[in-house]
Amino acid sequence: RLVVKRMRRGGLAASPWRDRFAGTARLLRNLSVPIEARRRGVPTAAPAALLMEQGPPGLYRGWLATDEILGAEDLLTRWAGTRPPGESEVAEVLRTVRRMHDAGVEHRDLNLGNLLLRSREDGTPEAFVVDLDAARLRDGPLPVGKRRAALRRMERSYLKRFGERGPLAAPR
C-alpha cells in the first residue's frame, strides 16, 4: 500500500506557485532525500515512485508515493485520543528525532504531524519521521542550534494543537 502526496511549496513562494516547480531538480530531491535518510538509518517511509507532470513551459507538478507505514498514526492524532501518551512513546519519538539529527538530516518542517508512532508486536512503540521534502542533508551531525530549532518547532506544533494543558502536561 502506498501513500501519495502532492508536492507543494511552502514559505513565500507558496501562494503564487502553489504546486508548480521551475524545472525538475527540487522534485527529484524530494525522492533522493528520503532514500539517503533511510540509508543513514533514519526510520522513514520508503519512497516508491515520483510522478512529474509538465505544465506550462519549464514548470512541473509532482506527486511522491511512499510505502505506507502500517498501523502508524501521526502524533497529532495519536495523542488526541483518550489515553495519554506513555513515557516510552515520548522517549521513542525523541530518540528517533535524535537519530535523524545525528545522521545529518535537517527536517525543516518537523512538527507532530510529521512524526508517526505505532506499536511493535511486543507492544513497544516505534517512531518514524515522514514528509522529508523540506529536509536538507548535511555531511555530519546537525549542530546544536539546528537541533534546538527543530525541537522548538515540535513544541510550537504541540502547543498549537493541545495548549498548555495537553496530554503531556503534568497532572495538577
112-156 residue pLDDT tens: 999 999 999 999 999 999 998 778 999 999 999 999 999 999 999
51-102 residue pLDDT tens: 989 988 888 888 889 999 999 999 999 988 777 788 999 999 999 999 999 9
Q: What Å distances lie between residue 132 and 95, 115, 120, 126, 167, CA to CA?
A: 18, 11, 23, 18, 26
**pTM as predicted:** 0.87
